[in-house]
Amino acid sequence: MPTERAGQWGTVARPTGTAKRSLLLKETGLVGVVLSLGLLLTVFGGAMPVRDRATGQTRTVNRFLRADNLDKLAKNTSFFAIMAVGATVVIISGGIDLSVGSVYCLAAVCGAMFLNRFGPQGAGAGASAAWVVPAAILLCLGIGAIAGLLNGLGVVLLGVHPFVITLGTMAIYRGVAFVMTRAQAYTHFPPQFTDGLIRYEVGHNLYPVPLVITVVVVVLAGVYLKRTVTGRQIFAIGGNEQAARYSGLPVERVKLKVYAFGGLAAGIAAVIMLGYYGAASSDAGKGYELDVIAAAVVGGASLSGGRGSALGALLGSLIIQMIASGIIILEIDQNYSQIIIGAVIVAAVVLDRISTVLRERRLAVTAVPEPEISERAEP
């Protein structure tokens, strides 16, 4: 989803070719992300010599750009990217949602219990997959959206900072999931849902469905943010809530939508997770909230609100997952992975900050001074 802001209007002098591309990057604030992504690709994407233990010969192989590795990367990215899109929308509106991991878990657990009941070993084993599968999906999405809506109601009605509300619901939702499952894992889902849908296999060991869902979610969210009235209002509320209120925007209603969307995104991620792994327990998604927010921030979302894009959320998640998988490929000690990921998050945000400062400075320099008196004001 191209999120170029200037493009909506068509600038006075329409830039073309490279100029236009660089403008797109600058306007969407994705300079840092794209640079980091390119850097990572060069580091991981190169072929490297590997000594084959059996024969003792050294061969040059590329372990990153391989179908199975890319597929794994796509799958790992998909959960995060979808949740990061939700988190980005919340962050653009000037809020924050710490409960994504728990909402994801709650939706997954509810879906898992349902699927288990109607699975091959459950009480309702005979039920037709034609309604079980859609019902399970709707259940996950519904639980996610309702949990998000409750977050939104807390923020709007109680007037408490979203950080506090979602910190509370983070514990509450996970607690509910824990009580419901009695800390038990649920498996044995109808194969039509797992192998037949989410783990649909094309070729050898390639599962494209999570990637497709992610792309669809990102595109829809991008369109929603940039081409709808509500999307515009989300940016306005995050940019200056008071001004938005004075401009007559339905601030409360938009906030409810935003948090519900955040929850819905967690619900979609839960569906993919259920189908892919075929199991869920109340431990699912522990600590995801910070990874997801990190992905959103790396993707250019500003925690003070008013800035961010769905495409950025996707790229941000991709970066974090690429580092995680790159660490394995480069055979770096696993214990260092957290340090490296943390450093990259800070670096990406600093890069973004620098590009913003440079842009502002350029604007200040090129500011056109007002003419002393306009012709019309002349007596």
Cα–Cα distance list, 347 to 85, 287, 299, 330 (Å):
21, 21, 12, 21
Distance of closest approach, residue 373 Cβ to other proteins, in angstroms:
5
- CB proximity list for 59: less than 8 A, separation 6 or greater: 49, 50, 52
Which one of residues 236, 279, 295, 327 is an interface residue with other proteins (CB under 8 A)?
Answer: 236
Cα(143)–Cα(123) distance, integer angstroms:
22
Site for other proteins in 266-325 (CB under 8 A): 306-307
Name which position in 22, 192, 247, 334 contacts other proteins (CB under 8 A): 247
Nearest residue (CB) to other proteins, 152 versus 231: 231
Classify each residue of 145-154 as buried b or exposed e, where b means 16 or more C-beta atoms within 10 Å of its C-beta: bbbbbbbbbb
Query: What residue has token string 């999405």?
Result: 141
Task: Pull the structure tokens for residue 341.
Answer: 């990921």
Among 21, 59, 66, 227, the residue binding other proteins under the rule CB under 8 A is 227
Q: Which x/- pattern, by CB under 8 A, does the window 177-216 give for other proteins? A: ----------------------------------------
16 binds other proteins, rule: CB under 8 A:
no
Q: CA-to-CA distance for 303 and 31, rounded, in angstroms?
A: 18
Which window, 6-14, 156-164, 166-174, 285-293, contacts other proteins (CB under 8 A)? 6-14
Candidate residues 85, 98, 108, 244; the one interacting with other proteins per rule CB under 8 A: 244
Residue selected from 233, 282, 309, 317 as contacting other proteins according to rule CB under 8 A: 233
Q: At its nearest, how many Å lie between other proteins and the CB of residue 159?
A: 12
Determine phi and psi for 186, rounding to 5 degrees.
-110, 130
Beta bridge partners of 48: 61
Q: How far is the CB of 216 from other proteins (least distance, A)?
A: 18
The DSSP element (H or E) to which 33 belongs, if any, is helix 31-45
Stretch that binds other proteins, among 1-9, 68-76, 288-296, 316-324 (CB under 8 A): 1-9
Residues in binding contact with other proteins, number by CB under 8 A: 45
What is the rounded distance in angstroms from the CA atom of residue 118 to the CA atom of residue 189? 7
Which region, judged by CB under 8 A, interacts with other proteins, from 41-49, 199-207, 288-296, 364-372? 364-372
Q: How far is CA 378 from CA 265, 306, 369, 371, 373, in A?
A: 58, 40, 18, 12, 7
Nearby residues of 377 by Cβ (< 8 Å), 6 or more positions away: none
Task: Choose among 253, 265, 255: nearest CA to 103.
Answer: 265
The verdict on 376 binding other proteins (CB under 8 A) reads: yes
Closer residue to other proteins (CB): 130 or 365: 365
Query: Is residue 243 close enough to count as binding other proteins by CB under 8 A?
Result: yes
* Region of residue 127 (phi > 0: left; psi between -120 and 50: alpha; otherwise: beta): beta
Using CB under 8 A, which of the segments 73-81, 134-142, 234-242, 340-348 binds other proteins? 234-242
Give the interface with other proteins as residue ranges (CB under 8 A). 5-6, 8-12, 227-233, 235-236, 239-240, 242-250, 306-307, 360, 363-365, 367-374, 376-379
